[in-house]
């Protein structure tokens, strides 16, 4: 999956469809700011077999910058795995460069399956589902311990911090939860 600015989507998709190796470019999700597409290409260009051989995963979505440079975030068990993938695809003519790398410790390590799933993509774009005010309320609720057991802050206290009525605060929080819980449920089903 690739992420492109919506303002450039029509032109980008048209150019991709004109490429002799591209079979199809369906739009998966679109809003005013971003468009998520999948590029289906001829089998001999596929990187999936090399990802599997090297035990490496792309974390969706990737995005294309002006000038056609693709930015891809990947996760690998080790640098050797990443290097193996790069060597395999370079034989097919792909030119990959590592811009930066970060090592995860055991505490922050997560299942590759969680990253391969569409649920993770949905979680990445969850902030777009919430209004700025809903995000602010949800963020404060998490920050001040509203979801802890026992609660460290009440709706009344959150409302005071936000300068809104209790009912407004509660409604904003309910709307945030209603949008986020289905995504969280999907991700939990995937990683369980």
pLDDT for residue 45: 67
Phi first, then psi, for residue 6 (nearest 5°) are: -60, -35
- The alpha carbon of 77 is separated from its chain's Cα centroid by a whole number of angstroms, namely 19
- DSSP 8-state symbol, 43: G
Phi then psi for residue 182, to 5 deg, are -60, -35
Mean pLDDT of 167-174: 96
Residue given tokens 């009912």 in the structure block:
167
**What per-residue confidence (pLDDT) applies to 105?**
59
Q: What does each C-alpha distance from 176 to 125, 128, 142 come to in angstroms?
A: 14, 11, 12
pTM over 0.75: no
**Alpha carbon distance 84, 124 (integer Å):** 28
Query: In angstroms, what is the C-alpha Rg of the chain?
Result: 21
User: What are the sequence ranges of the domains in the chain?
Assistant: 1-44, 47-110, 124-191
Burial of 29 (C-beta count, 10 Å sphere; 0-12/13-18/19+): middle
Residue among 54, 58, 65, 82 at smallest CA distance from 1 = 58
Q: Note the pLDDT tens digit of each residue in 94-130.
A: 788 887 777 765 555 455 444 444 444 555 556 567 8
DSSP 56: -
Structural class in CATH, domain 124-191: mainly alpha
Token pair 């996760």: residue: 75
d(CA 65, CA 79): 25
Computed over every residue of the chain, the mean pLDDT equals 79
């Amino acid at each position: 999956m690739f992420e492109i600015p919506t303002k450039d989507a029509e032109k980008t998709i048209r150019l991709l469809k004109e490429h002799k190796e591209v079979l199809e470019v369906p739009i998966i999700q679109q809003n005013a700011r971003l468009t998520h597409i999948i590029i289906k290409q001829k089998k001999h260009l596929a990187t999936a077999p090399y990802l599997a051989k090297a035990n490496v995963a792309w974390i969706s979505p990737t995005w294309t910058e002006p000038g056609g440079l693709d930015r891809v975030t990947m996760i690998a068990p080790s640098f050797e795995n990443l290097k193996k993938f790069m060597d395999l695809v370079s034989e097919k003519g792909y030119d990959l460069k590592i811009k930066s790398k970060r090592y995860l410790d055991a505490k922050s390590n997560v299942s590759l399956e969680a990253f391969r799933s569409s649920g993770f993509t949905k979680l990445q774009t969850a902030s777009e589902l919430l209004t700025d005010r809903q995000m602010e309320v949800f963020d404060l609720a998490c920050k001040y311990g509203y979801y802890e057991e026992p609660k460290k802050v009440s709706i009344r206290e959150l409302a005071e911090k936000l300068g809104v009525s209790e009912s407004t605060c509660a409604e904003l929080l309910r709307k945030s939860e209603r949008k986020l819980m289905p995504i969280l449920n999907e991700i939990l089903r995937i990683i369980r």
